[in-house]
Amino acid sequence: MKALKLKSIRRQRGQGMTEYIIIVALIAVSAIGVYAMFGQTIRHQTAALASEMSGKTAESQNNINRAGEDSGQATNKANQSKGLNNFNVGNDTGSN
């Protein structure tokens, strides 16, 4: 009886660990997606912040402008309709 109870407890712990791994994997996949969409913007904003803190205001303004351009491009990409009818549209792969 005691062995059956221990086996049940181990099974519940394994289930909890599996659920935790699935949640962590989903968070990682969503973080990768966000970074893929806004990566350039984040890099330019970080560079602008570092330039501003070091006292290079002209370089900082350049990075701020680039971040703004990149965020506009990311917004345009996010607003595009995606489906099977335009799956390969806009990709220069050389094959039609």
Whether residue 8 is contained in a domain is answered as no
Question: What confidence tens digit (pLDDT) does each residue in 41-73 have?
Answer: 788 888 888 777 777 777 777 777 787 787 777
Whether residue 57 is contained in a domain is answered as yes
Percent of the chain with pLDDT over 70: 73
> What DSSP state is assigned to residue 81?
-
Whether residue 58 is contained in a domain is answered as yes
Cα–Cα nearest to 37, from 63, 65, 75, 68: 75
Instruction: Please state the φ and ψ torsions of residue 29, each to the nearest 5 degrees.
Output: -65, -40
| Look-up of token digits 């390969």 | 88
Query: What's the total number of domains in the chain?
Result: 1
- This prediction has a pTM of 0.41
- Domain ranges, residue 45: 39-69
Whether residue 16 is contained in a domain is answered as no
**Average of pLDDT values for 18-36?**
90
Whether residue 33 is contained in a domain is answered as no
Q: Please, which pLDDT band fits residue 28 given cuts at 50, 70 and 90?
A: very high
Q: Please, which pLDDT band fits residue 96 given cuts at 50, 70 and 90?
A: very low
